[in-house]
């Protein structure tokens, strides 16, 4: 395990982040307490020091167990949690990004976690209602109070993150240092604006959903109109809700995994790890065996040819204005004949 700086900060975090959404069985698919502890122990023994949870996960159980598991070595762990999602469906102020929910949520998380500070506090979603200045000033107050150290934005539009950080820098408030987004070989639309923004603003990126809901783990293969779950009986369905193009991507992942003597999950994780910028994939697991398999992605290095193959099969149109501005005739209008003669050290696209 190596370590990276968390965006525009000096904080050192492991190159993989553990996602504790599976801690607890309240939602019907998580892990019991003993297995959750073994999973986190395995992650820590491999050198992981970065753990991500949220107040909403398994109705608060995730935070409680995380706090208990790391209590003996709290200072070593980089602890991240989130607020924004509804904690009481009948209360309009028990959700959202506004100050009232922010203050109530951070105090409740500190209590569940059994700690007096949070290393990285995420705004879990953009709520479309709270002014950016209210959010950033409120987060800065929490930093000054010592309750949180760094702040991040999860599942926000790129232009809102840019607006928030510009405002924070102009007013001397604490800016976002990290961005959490859905990103995988099956979901690359974040490459249109979110990832270029992160590189430009020096934000670390912690992608979630990197295994595409299990599709990239080698769990499914297409046989005619049948999806076959490896190691179990066939599921008689058209495509089990998995689009054909996603199955094609999964097959390419499996082919490359076979050549490496690796699992498809390890290849899918390695593809994310090897993308441009500070990319810290979130890995989750319900069992010790699963986390051990995921951690082995650190030993898989994809070649340029393999990256090209995966890029080709999973490519997405970047849309306007990106595709428009990259056309040769448009570049000629902008730069004349000089574009290929200019060494652009910033590498902006």
Q: How confident is the model at residue 233 (pLDDT cuts 50, 70, 90)?
A: very low
State the DSSP H helix or E strand holding residue 294, giving kind and residue range, or none if neither: helix 288-295
Longest dimension (CA), the chain: 65
Classify each residue of 32-67 as buried b or exposed e, where b means 16 or more C-beta atoms within 10 Å of its C-beta: eeebbbbbbebbbebebbbbbbbbbbbebbbbbbbb
The residues spanned by each domain of the chain are 3-212+261-316, 322-349
- Higher-confidence position of 205 and 345: 205
pLDDT in tens, 293-302: 999 999 999 9
Tokens of 210: 């990197």
pLDDT band at 44 (very low <50, low <70, confident <90, very high): very high
CATH number of 3-212+261-316: 3.20.20.100
Three-state DSSP class for residue 121? strand
pLDDT of residue 348: 57
- Write out pLDDT tens, residues 46-97: 999 999 999 999 999 999 999 999 999 999 999 999 999 999 999 999 999 9
Is 121 a residue of the active site? no
* 244-280 pLDDT, tens digit each: 999 999 999 999 999 999 999 999 999 999 999 999 9
What does the pLDDT read at residue 177? 98
- pLDDT attached to residue 228: 46
Quote the CA–CA distance of 65 and 146 in Å, as a whole number.
23
Supply the mean pLDDT for the chain: 93
What percent of the chain has pLDDT above 70? 93
**Which one of the listed residues 18, 57, 150, 183 is annotated catalytic?**
57
> What is the pLDDT at residue 221?
67
CB under 8 A, 24+ apart: contacts of 239-246: 242/215, 246/186, 246/212, 246/215
pLDDT digits (tens, 9 = 90+) for 90-127: 999 999 999 999 999 999 999 999 999 999 999 999 99
Query: Where is pLDDT greater, at 238 or 284?
Result: 284
pLDDT 10s digits, 160-182: 999 999 999 999 999 999 999 99
């Amino acid at each position: 395990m190596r370590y990276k700086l968390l965006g525009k900060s000096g904080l050192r975090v492991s190159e993989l982040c553990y996602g504790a959404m599976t801690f607890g069985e309240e939602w019907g698919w998580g892990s019991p307490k003993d297995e959750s502890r073994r999973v986190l122990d395995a992650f820590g023994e491999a050198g992981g020091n970065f753990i991500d949870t949220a107040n909403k996960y398994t109705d608060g159980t995730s935070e409680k167990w995380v706090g208990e598991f790391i209590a003996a070595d709290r200072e070593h762990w980089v602890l991240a949690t989130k607020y924004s999602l509804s904690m009481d469906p009948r209360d309009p102020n028990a959700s959202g990004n506004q100050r009232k929910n922010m203050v109530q949520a951070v105090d409740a998380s500190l209590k569940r976690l059994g700690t007096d500070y949070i290393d990285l506090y995420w705004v879990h979603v953009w709520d479309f209602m709270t002014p950016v200045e209210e959010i950033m000033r409120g987060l800065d107050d929490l930093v000054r109070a010592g309750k949180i150290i760094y702040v991040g934005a999860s599942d926000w539009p790129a232009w809102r993150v840019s607006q928030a950080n510009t405002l924070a820098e102009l007013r001397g408030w604490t800016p976002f240092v990290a961005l959490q987004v859905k990103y995988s070989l099956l979901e690359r639309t974040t490459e249109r604006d979110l990832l270029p923004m992160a590189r430009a603003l020096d934000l670390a990126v912690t992608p979630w959903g990197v295994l595409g809901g299990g599709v990239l783990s080698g769990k499914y293969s297409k046989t005619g109109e049948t999806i076959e779950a490896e190691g179990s009986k066939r599921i008689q369905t058209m495509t089990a809700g998995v689009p054909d193009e996603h199955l094609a991507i999964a097959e390419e992942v499996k082919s490359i995994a076979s050549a490496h003597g690796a699992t498809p999950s390890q290849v899918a994780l390695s593809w994310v790890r090897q993308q441009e910028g500070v990319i810290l994939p979130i890995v989750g697991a319900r069992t010790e065996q699963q986390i051990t398999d995921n951690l082995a992605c650190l030993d898989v290095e994809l070649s340029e040819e393999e990256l090209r193959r995966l890029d080709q099969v999973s490519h997405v149109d970047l849309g306007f204005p990106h595709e428009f501005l990259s056309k040769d005739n448009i570049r000629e209008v902008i730069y004349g004949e000089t574009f290929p003669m200019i060494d652009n050290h910033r590498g902006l696209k």
